[in-house]
Amino acid sequence: MKTIARTASLAVLLAVAAGLAAAQQQQAPQTPEERFRRSWSNTMAKLVEMAEDFPEDKYTYKPHPDSRSFGEELMHVASVNTRLARQAKGEPVDNAALQKEFAYVSKADTVAKLKQSVEDVKAVVEGADCLRFIGALEHAGEEYGKLTVHYRVNGLVPPRSRRQPEN
């Protein structure tokens, strides 16, 4: 009886181990589309984190008069997301109107519009042809990089540099 119980326990253990291994394998992005979606969501999460974290009184900081301010960079990302979302739905996009809609107003407005844009663009990111938007992902990564320097020049440490990175 003891042998049967030991064998059964071993079988259960092996089954659990196999299940865990399979689950871990499932976590890895297996296709370019899955990899793109995970990357997109991580990059957007980092931008939202910065939007919520950066002091409002520094939102209008710009490294050069010709550059966008911190708030304007985030609104730029939000407008790109919104443009992609609307174009995917076949809605006409008027550049001037979009620019006006995403003009910087306040930190709260920026955070809200950025978050909404991330929601709105989800359908595009989930689409089968999402790889068409790799350029938009690279662009968002560049914007994130710019904002890390905005932090440093203002004597602040970017959120991801305050802890061990987890991409």
Partner 1 sequence: MPRTTLAISVLILSVAAAASAQTPTAPGAAETTLRAWNEAYASVIQMAEDFPEEKYDYKPTPEVRSFAEQLLHVTGTPYFFISVCTGQKSGEGPFAREKYKTKAEVVAALKKAAEAGAAFIREQGDAGLAKPAKLPWESETRNALWVWNVGARHASEHYGQLVVYYRLNGLVPPASR
List residues near partner 1 by CB under 8 A.
24-25, 27-32, 35-36, 38-39, 43, 63-64, 66-67, 131, 134-135, 137-139, 141-150, 152-153, 155, 164-167
CA distance linking residue 155 with residue 148, whole number of Å:
11
CA distance linking residue 165 with residue 63, whole number of Å:
26
The structure tokens listed for 80 are: 């790109």
CA distance linking residue 9 with residue 2, whole number of Å:
10
User: Of the two residues 16 and 149, which places its CB atom closer to partner 1 in the complex?
Assistant: 149
| Rounded least distance, CB 42 to partner 1, Å | 8
User: Of the two residues 3 and 24, which places its CB atom closer to partner 1 in the complex?
Assistant: 24
3-state class (DSSP) for residue 18: helix
| Rounded least distance, CB 152 to partner 1, Å | 5
User: Of the two residues 32 and 105, which places its CB atom closer to partner 1 in the complex?
Assistant: 32
CA distance linking residue 59 with residue 111, whole number of Å:
11
| Rounded least distance, CB 151 to partner 1, Å | 10
| Rounded least distance, CB 7 to partner 1, Å | 30
CA distance linking residue 43 with residue 66, whole number of Å:
25
User: Of the two residues 93 and 153, which places its CB atom closer to partner 1 in the complex?
Assistant: 153
Displacement of CA 39 from its chain's centroid (Å) = 7
